[in-house]
Structure 1
Amino acid sequence: MAAVSDNVVFVLVRRIDERTERMAQELHDVKVRVTALEDGLAGVNRRLDRLEQWVERIGRRLELSDA
């Protein structure tokens, strides 16, 4: 009887280990994707900053002011 319950425990531990490995891999994939999103967002923010500077420069050249 002890051998059967040891075998059941071993099977359960193996399943837990496999699930843990899958979760670790999925977490790694999520981290990679989040990093890519952060890099993309940083690029968008840089472009928006340049666009804002460009619009301000145009406004100065046209001598526009906020009234």
Structure 2
Amino acid sequence: MTENMENLVLEHLRGIRGTLADHGERLDRIDLRLSTIEQTLGGLYALSASDRDALTHLTRRVERIEQRLSLSDA
């Protein structure tokens, strides 16, 4: 009976080890995907800042043109 119990415990431990290995692999894949998302988001923030700077520059140019043509209210 004791040998059967030991075999049963070992069988359960092997199952747990296999499950942990599967979870570890899945966690590695999730970590990789999260890193990719973070890099993409960082790139989008950089593009957004660049676009904002370009828009600010264009707004200033339009304001100067309006002033020169006396089209602005101010």
TM exceeds 0.5? yes
Q: Which runs of 5+ in 1 are unaligned?
A: none
Q: Which runs of 5+ in 2 are unaligned?
A: 65-74
Where in structure 2 are the equivalents of 1:36-55 lying within 5 Å? 36-55=36-55
The CA distance in 2 between the partners of 1:11 and 1:17, in whole Å, is 10
Match of 2:29 in 1: 29
> How large is the Cα RMSD of the aligned pairs?
1.0
What displacement does 1:15 show?
A: 0.2
Match of 1:8 in 2: 8
What displacement does 1:63 show?
A: 1.3
The CA distance in 2 between the partners of 1:62 and 1:40, in whole Å, is 33
What displacement does 1:44 show?
A: 0.8
The CA distance in 2 between the partners of 1:42 and 1:63, in whole Å, is 32
The CA distance in 1 between the partners of 2:48 and 2:24, in whole Å, is 36
1:13-66 deviations in Å (ceiling 9; x for gaps): 0000000000011001100000000000111111111000000000011117xx
Q: Which has the higher contact order (CA 8 A, sep 6+)?
A: 2
The CA distance in 2 between the partners of 1:13 and 1:28, in whole Å, is 22
How many residue pairs were aligned? 64
List structure 1 segments (4+ residues) > 6 angstroms apart after TM superposition. Answer: none
